[in-house]
Amino acid sequence: MMILLENENIKVTISAKGAELQSIKSKKDNLEYLWKGDPAFWGKFSPVLFPIVGALKNNTYCIGDQSYQLPRHGFARDLDFEAQQISEEEALFTLSNTVKTSEVYPFEFKFSLRYRISGPAVSCTYEVNNPGTKDLLFSVGAHPAFAVPLTADTVYEDYYLEFSQDESLNIHQIEDNLIGDQVAILQLSDRKLNLQHELFYNDALVMKDLNSKSIQLKNTKNQHGLNFRFIDFPFFGIWSAKDADFVCLEPWCGIADGIHHNQQLSDKEGIQSLSPGLDWKRSWEIEVF
């Protein structure tokens, strides 16, 4: 099932499977801003990461003496959400615990994604509710992939990311999908990171202390690009599949296990803890131009 959001500026398509964005298209020039999802490189568009972000050590976590297994980034991206069209400009997608999810994740939860469009912008709000009687432990992350190049008259190397505040990036090295001990400093030029495929040959650029709350994707040949805004996400990743024509901008409330992690979920870096009956929200927004 697909839901379409549309106004005078943009058309946005979302699939009920994984509550995943499929398309963000400008109506002015029919320009598509999302990656095309080519499975030869990476068959996703904008998967949601829940109830974990990144990989677990040995794909396993523990609650006390009981161990469970989850794949990288969790299970929500592969499940069907209940879809509700609120209006032409808003849609709500909801996933709740089932007997099947409880086998790998023994928590009661209600997890929703609320998409809204306004002018040339689309926002996504993660809404988590704890309907259970014990604390809900979870992580949430975004993984939208943006087309690079955006237009036929440009190539990948014409594009750059402009950070609202940072002059350099502290990159945590990845070892077998886990966070290693080494940190590399990547210097920016006037807060800009020029995109090159080689940047991602060793996996994602992972940051724990990004100061910027917005990143713009721009190019040196024309005025097309986007502004990606996010608040209260303590971790951030930038990634592309090898030699693929996209870049992912990924704000996270959670992160992959460190190589020395004890695998206890309650001790996992970035884990969110939500008391019974309470709600939790985080949002990000894409404005295209």
pLDDT in tens, 168-224: 999 999 999 999 999 999 999 999 999 999 999 999 999 999 999 999 999 999 999
Mean pLDDT, residues 9-27: 98
Rounded-to-10 torsion of CA 267, 279, 255, 146: 180
Contacts of 195 (CB under 8 A, 6+ apart): 148, 156, 157, 159, 160, 161, 247
Handedness of CA 56, 75, 147, 223 (dihedral sign): negative
Tokens, residue 102: 């409880």
> What's residue 83's pLDDT?
98
Question: What does the pLDDT read at residue 191?
Answer: 98
Mean pLDDT of the chain: 98
User: What count of Cα atoms within 13 Å lies in the side-chain half-sphere of residue 27?
Assistant: 11
Q: Is the pTM of this model over 0.85?
A: yes
Q: What is the pLDDT of residue 214?
A: 98
* pLDDT number for residue 11: 98
Name the residue ranges covered by the structural domains of the chain.
2-288
pLDDT for 94: 98
Name the band, by pLDDT with cuts 50, 70 and 90, for residue 53.
very high
pLDDT digits (tens, 9 = 90+) for 256-270: 999 999 999 999 999
CB atoms closer than 10 angstroms to residue 67: 11
Residue 220 CA neighbour count, 13 Å, CB half: 10
pLDDT of residue 98: 98
| CATH entry 2.30.30.140 includes domain 2-288 | no
In the chain, pLDDT over 70 holds for what percent of residues? 100
CA dihedral 178, 180, 185, 188 (to 10 degrees): 0
Strands (E), 29-187: 31-32, 60-63, 66-69, 82-87, 90-96, 110-118, 121-129, 136-138, 140-141, 145-147, 159-163, 168-175, 178-187
Per-residue pLDDT tens digits for 85-126: 999 999 999 999 999 999 999 999 999 999 999 999 999 999
The predicted model gives 243-253 an average pLDDT of 98
pLDDT tens, 232-245? 999 999 999 999 99
pLDDT computed for residue 167 by the predictor: 98
Which tens digit of pLDDT belongs to each residue from 149-168?
Answer: 999 999 999 999 999 999 99
Whether 286 and 269 have beta carbons less than 8 Å apart is answered as no
In tens, the pLDDT along 24-50 reads: 999 999 999 999 999 999 999 999 999
